[in-house]
Amino acid sequence: MGIYWTNHHLFQLVEKVNGPVLWANLNLLFWLSLLPMTTDWMDASDLSRVPVLIYGVDLLLAALSYWLLSRTLVRSQPSESLLNQALGDDRKGFWSPILYGIGIAAAAGADYLPTHLGVGVAIAMYMLTGLLWVIPDRRVERVVASA
């Protein structure tokens, strides 16, 4: 949750907000609101396969929602806006769904992976993705500093 909060600072570059931006932001907040429940379920089950898989799906949907929010923000701003200057190449946004997808596939891999190995790979992919985002997006910081 903290990672999303710190990266949500891209709103400091937003010049205008419209209905689609509000809905995209609400969509992100919905998936984030499920994280405490999916985290608790995963913990209560001692990292059973299904709760770890559902947790990964929640993480994936939150990541896709964040991407959707950033694209919606870009479309809603003037082309010369500071936000559009800041959000160009998005490597972390590209890799996050892929890593989450690998984790989900590993957690779901009942036929080809032992449960403990699949769950371990899933947790590792979820953690790796989180580590990518621990440092807030520097593209926004650079534009704010130069503005």
Mean pLDDT, contiguous 10-residue spans, the chain (147 residues): 79 90 97 97 95 97 94 90 79 90 90 81 95 79 78
Please give the C-alpha separations between residue 42 and each of 32, 34, 89, 146, in angstroms, as whole numbers: 16, 12, 34, 43
List all residues 6 or more positions away from 80 whose beta carbon is below 8 Å from its beta carbon.
none
Tell me how far the alpha carbon of residue 34 is from its chain's centroid. 13
What pLDDT is attached to residue 106? Answer: 94
The number of residues in the chain equals 147
pTM over 0.95: no
